[in-house]
Chain A
Amino acid sequence: MAELAAVIASTHHPFYYRASTATGADRPPFADEWVAKIEAFRETLTRAEPDVLVMVGSDHFHQLWLDNMPQFLVGKAPFFDANFHNEEREFGLPKMTLRGEEDLAAHLLRDGLDRDFDLAFSNELRIDHSITCPIITLRPQADLPIVPVYTNIFAPPLPQPKRFVALGRAIREMVESWESDKRVAVIGTGHLSLELGGPRQFGEHGPDPEFDRKAVEWIASGDIEGCLAEVSLESLHHPGNATHGFMDFMLMMGVAGEGAKADHVDTLDLFHTMEAYFTWYPNGVPSGSGVSA
């Protein structure tokens, strides 16, 4: 059976690529600290020696649209082209091509349906920055096959938070029941408090630092029940109008498991959002790892 080598959750700030590659007067003052945190975070994946990446993200109205919007979708294709025109335009993100892992995708689809998740599938998926940002930060050589899993955190009506946790738990069980000797890392990206297109956008900090503090604590300590007790589809509007992306962090808490303390926790308070990085090793911290919580 496959081994779950690492569970990784992070934000997916699309400005990282530009900030980290900028030089001279174009390089923002926070770039060096951000790069240092990302390089430490990247090492947590490198040390897990993964063969395959299951990548949880959310299409931002790039390919998926309101005429036919899936709640949860698995990409099953031999290759995935990546990044769209308007991401290149706004964030300078490069076009990319990633290999797919069709056998694991087929397993997730069959087993997921049998576990009562009505998973949509796509045989021709162009992935966006929710998945390419963690490739850029965690695996810039982009050499591993992926299985993209898209969730709808964007176009109401949305699934309930508990459904995201349940899907995370199921993904873990399904990865561990995959008949393979591969080492699988599950990587998911979401948001802490975030406002986009509203009056609280692009402030000095994230729109709700108190929510961010609680959210980081829930994730770092694996406090799924405490998180579910306070978070609802309705409450997630208050920390910022794009905070429903936090449900992808809740999905990753489901993958990591109730009470699972993260082995690596780091944050960076940027000018309009708090960046956050978490890594769990379900089978123990790899030897020689310098990670610390």
Chain B
Amino acid sequence: MSKYLLDKFLFTVDRDPELTERYREDPAGTVTWWEQEMANTMLNCIPAEKTTWLAFTDDERRALAEHDHVALFQMGAHPFLTLTLFIAMFERDHGPMEYQRAYGRAMEHISMPYPDIAT
């Protein structure tokens, strides 16, 4: 599990309007590009100071590429990050609160305790 990297993806895509649109339109391509170019970028450092070891598992890569917010929740991705990014991408396609409620209903089968979000 690389919960930190899942969160890093969600964090960096949510805060950048261009990346948010890119992930909405081309999820698989954005995940592939991001893992190659961004995953090992230290956010406060110049590119030469990249780290070397961060990578998604196959399941994590698939969940991100398929916009599968339920799987991301079950993997322990931080739910605030997933929610805000997915609202940014998909609320526009629905009526008021419709997307947010459907988002919750898709997780009705999940009971307490929820997956651990500690990284």
Interface range for A: 20 to 34
Given the interface contacts A65-B11, A156-B117, does A60 sit within 8 Å of B104 by beta carbon? no
Q: Which of A52-75 contact B (CB under 8 A)?
A: 60-62, 65-68
Contacts across chains A and B counted by CB atoms under 8 Å: 79
Are A90 and B104 neighbours in the complex by a CB distance under 8 Å?
no
Q: Which of B15-69 contact A (CB under 8 A)?
A: 15, 17, 42-44, 69
Q: Indicate if B107 sits at the interface (CB-CB under 8 A).
A: yes
Interface stretch among A133-141, A167-175, A236-244, A282-290?
A236-244
Given the interface contacts A155-B119, A156-B118, A237-B113, does A202 sit within 8 Å of B97 by beta carbon? yes
Q: Which residues of A contact B103 (CB under 8 A)?
A: 197, 201
Given the interface contacts A60-B80, A197-B80, does A66 sit within 8 Å of B88 by beta carbon? no
- What string of 1s and 0s marks CB contacts (under 8 Å) between A141-177 and chain B? 0000000000000111100000000000000000000
Q: Which residues of B contact A183 (CB under 8 A)?
A: none
B90 to chain A, nearest CB (A): 12
Are A65 and B43 neighbours in the complex by a CB distance under 8 Å?
yes
- What string of 1s and 0s marks CB contacts (under 8 Å) between A248-292 and chain B? 000000000000000000000000000000000000000000000
Are A241 and B79 neighbours in the complex by a CB distance under 8 Å?
yes
Q: Which residues of B contact A84 (CB under 8 A)?
A: 15
Are B110 and A67 neighbours in the complex by a CB distance under 8 Å?
no
Measured CA separation A84–B103 after assembly (Å): 24
Are B78 and A155 neighbours in the complex by a CB distance under 8 Å?
yes
Q: Indicate if A85 sits at the interface (CB-CB under 8 A).
A: yes
Are A202 and B15 neighbours in the complex by a CB distance under 8 Å?
no
Q: Which residues of B contact A86 (CB under 8 A)?
A: 14-15, 84, 88
Closest-by-CB residue of B relative to A68 is B44
Given the interface contacts A90-B88, A241-B79, does A198 sit within 8 Å of B73 by beta carbon? yes
Measured CA separation A201–B73 after assembly (Å): 13
Q: Which residues of A contact B105 (CB under 8 A)?
A: 199
Are B11 and A196 neighbours in the complex by a CB distance under 8 Å?
no
Q: Which of B79-104 contact A (CB under 8 A)?
A: 79-84, 87-88, 97, 100-101, 103-104
Are A202 and B78 neighbours in the complex by a CB distance under 8 Å?
no
Are A61 and B81 neighbours in the complex by a CB distance under 8 Å?
yes
Q: Indicate if B4 sits at the interface (CB-CB under 8 A).
A: yes
Are A90 and B11 neighbours in the complex by a CB distance under 8 Å?
no
- What string of 1s and 0s marks CB contacts (under 8 Å) between A76-93 and chain B? 000000001110011000
Q: Which of A65, A238, A242 contacts B80 (CB 8 A)?
A: A242
Top 6 A-B residue pairs of the complex, sorted by shortest distance between their CB atoms: A197-B79, A197-B83, A156-B118, A199-B107, A201-B104, A202-B100
For this complex, 18 residue pairs linking A to B, each with C-beta atoms less than 8 Å apart, are A60-B80, A62-B15, A66-B8, A66-B119, A67-B42, A67-B44, A68-B44, A84-B15, A90-B88, A154-B80, A196-B79, A197-B103, A198-B107, A199-B104, A201-B103, A202-B100, A242-B79, A242-B80
Residues of chain A touching chain B, judged by Cβ–Cβ distance below 8 Å, are: 60-62, 65-68, 84-86, 89-90, 154-157, 195-203, 237-238, 241-242
